[in-house]
Amino acid sequence: MPLESYGWTPERQADFAPFAERGLLPGRIVVQQRSHARVMTGDGEVAASLAGKLTHEAGELDFPVTGDWVACSRRPGEGAAIQAVLPRASLFVRRAAGQAQTVQAVAANVDLALLVSSLNADLNPRRLERYLAMALESGVRPVVVLTKADVAQDAAGASAEISAALGGVEVMVISARSGLGMEALADLLAPGLTAVLLGSSGAGKSTIVNALAGEQKMATAAIRESDAHGRHTTTHRELVLLPSGALLLDTPGMRELGLWDAQAGLAATFADLEAEIETLAADCRFRDCRHDAEPGCAVRLALEDGRLDRERWESLAKLREELAQAGSRQRRPSPGKSRRSGTQRPGPASRG
Ligand SMILES: Nc1nc2c(ncn2[C@@H]2O[C@H](COP(=O)(O)OP(=O)(O)OP(=O)(O)O)[C@@H](O)[C@H]2O)c(=O)[nH]1
Ligand SMILES: [Zn+2]
């Protein structure tokens, strides 16, 4: 399998040059589970584990994740050892489930984030807001994908509502069952592009992969649509090469997406709301009005008479507070989300 199919570019080739000198092989992580991974190389897919040096020296965000480009050495016999991670074009991080202090990388080198939600009882702009902030924080284009249109009452209405509640984000309505919108979705997925599917369990992420792959790549499971509880069928992250040439990364449904150091993403998610607030604030009685309990507050007035979306306003305040709390407990170890930062630089040759 030529690595170009997996998104290898001349720029990545240049990043890899020092590792090539050390006789290492380039590859892309297609599955990552704890310390074991499957890596697509020019010679096909190999099982790989982390080299000891990487395990000992890596910071939290330096560990390879699905989508990463890595430099590997061949292990005697079969398999490979991951020696280093190449600079990342993008990195999705979240607060590790149930823990305030730990950052966890979710996916690397993603070009497009598909924020998946079912058009059933599960549909909730507040949950999508978190995914949106994460995508915008990583500089990745977000598209909301509303699934199961075949069982929806008013898909068009819901779509317009979600877009408005999320600052005008691009929204697509699809049904894997009826085929509605599937062509438009496929059109987004250009050859060599890497898209990640994010959303809660049961949203229909794996069904999308299977429909676009034309075969059963990921296991799916029926859910009780009455309460919309998914069953967490997908247990690992897997990068699938579609017949169209795009790469699609399925992820397990997250119970709760905890944001990590996503101030810029949050600001971008609420940019239109903040602009509205700023305009209104010009009419507040006090110039330094905090729109809290001050008399003559134009923002409060707009919240009361419905000109300003109260749910979004409250959500923004809550997410800000959440980030502030996480931030005061521990600063992020390294930026790690922009190209040429946070990943390991080529070092002297080592055995793994
Ligand atoms: N009616 C209808 N059902 C769908 C559609 N897409 C998916 N489903 C059903 O929704 C259920 C959950 O779909 P999955 O694809 O397993 O959901 P998932 O998001 O991958 O869930 P996890 O793997 O647990 O994260 C399955 O029963 C699917 O058959 C659709 O377009 N229409
Ligand atoms: Zn005010």
Gap from CA of 313 to ligand 2 centroid (Å): 13
Let me know if residue 351 belongs to a domain. Answer: no
Q: Convert the pLDDT of each residue in 93-121 to its tens digit.
A: 988 877 667 888 889 999 999 999 999 87
Nearest one of 209, 212, 229 to 220, comparing CA atoms: 209
Q: Do residues 15 and 79 both lie within one domain? A: yes
Share of the chain above pLDDT 70, in %: 86
Least confident of 93-107, 128-142, 171-185, 190-204: 93-107
Residue 73 neighbours by CB distance under 10 Å: 19
Structure tokens that stand for 169 in this block: 């984000």
Ligand 1 neighbour 232 (Cβ under 6 A): yes
Ligand 1 neighbour 251 (Cβ under 6 A): no
CATH of the domain at 280: 1.10.40.50
Ligand 1 neighbour 88 (Cβ under 6 A): no
Closest ligand, as measured to the CA of 177? 1
Gap from CA of 136 to ligand 1 centroid (Å): 26
Atom of ligand 1 lying closest to residue 207 CA: 15
Q: Do residues 227 and 145 both lie within one domain? A: yes
Q: Do residues 171 and 239 both lie within one domain? A: yes
Ligand 1 neighbour 230 (Cβ under 6 A): yes
Q: Do residues 41 and 164 both lie within one domain? A: no
Q: Convert the pLDDT of each residue in 36-93 to its tens digit.
A: 899 999 989 999 999 988 888 888 888 999 999 999 999 877 789 999 999 999 999 9
Among protein residues, the one whose CA lies closest to atom 12 of ligand 1: 202
* Number of domains, the chain: 3
| Domain end point (choices 85, 100, 130) | 85
Token look-up 């490979």 returns 80
Q: If DSSP states are collapsed to H, E and C, what string results for the chain? A: CCHHHHCCCHHHHHHHHHHHHCCCEEEEEEEEECCEEEEEECCEEEEEEECHHHHHHCCHHHCCCCCCEEEEEECCCCCEEEEEECCCCCEEEEECCCCCCCEEEEEECCCEEEEEEECCCCCCHHHHHHHHHHHHHCCCEEEEEEECHHHCCCHHHHHHHHHHHCCCCCEEECCCCCCCCHHHHHHHCCCCCEEEEECCCCCCHHHHHHHHHCCCCCCCCCCECCCCECCCCCCCEEEEECCCCCEEEECCCCCCCECCCCHHHHHHHCHHHHHHHHHHHCCCCCCCCCCCCCCCCHHHHHHHCCCCCHHHHHHHHHHHHHHHHHHHHCCCCCCCCCCCCCCCCCCCCCCC
Q: Convert the pLDDT of each residue in 281-318 to its tens digit.
A: 999 999 999 999 999 999 999 999 999 999 999 999 99
CATH of the domain at 63: 2.40.50.140
Range of the domain at 29: 3-85
Q: Do residues 57 and 189 both lie within one domain? A: no
Q: Do residues 44 and 144 both lie within one domain? A: no
Let me know if residue 208 belongs to a domain. Answer: yes
Let me know if residue 260 belongs to a domain. Answer: no
Residues in CB range of 155: below 8 A, 6 or more apart: 119, 146, 149, 173
Compute the average pLDDT of residues 234-245. 85
Atom of ligand 1 lying closest to residue 231 CA: 24
Q: Do residues 109 and 150 both lie within one domain? A: yes
- Among 106, 210, 220, name the best residue to mutate to test ligand 1's pocket (greatest count of ligand atoms within 8 A of Cβ): 220
CATH of the domain at 167: 3.40.50.300
Q: Do residues 245 and 117 both lie within one domain? A: yes
Let me know if residue 150 belongs to a domain. Answer: yes
Let me know if residue 330 belongs to a domain. Answer: no
Among protein residues, the one whose CA lies closest to atom 32 of ligand 1: 148
Among protein residues, the one whose CA lies closest to atom 16 of ligand 1: 220
Q: Do residues 237 and 312 both lie within one domain? A: no
Q: Do residues 118 and 219 both lie within one domain? A: yes
The pLDDT of residue 342 is: 39
Under 8 Å between Cβ of 149 and 181:
yes
Q: Do residues 153 and 216 both lie within one domain? A: yes
Token look-up 């599960």 returns 122
Q: Do residues 71 and 115 both lie within one domain? A: no
Let me know if residue 107 belongs to a domain. Answer: yes
Let me know if residue 185 belongs to a domain. Answer: yes
Gap from CA of 117 to ligand 1 centroid (Å): 10
Let me know if residue 80 belongs to a domain. Answer: yes
Compute the average pLDDT of residues 266-279. 96
Gap from CA of 169 to ligand 1 centroid (Å): 23
Gap from CA of 319 to ligand 2 centroid (Å): 20
Gap from CA of 205 to ligand 1 centroid (Å): 7
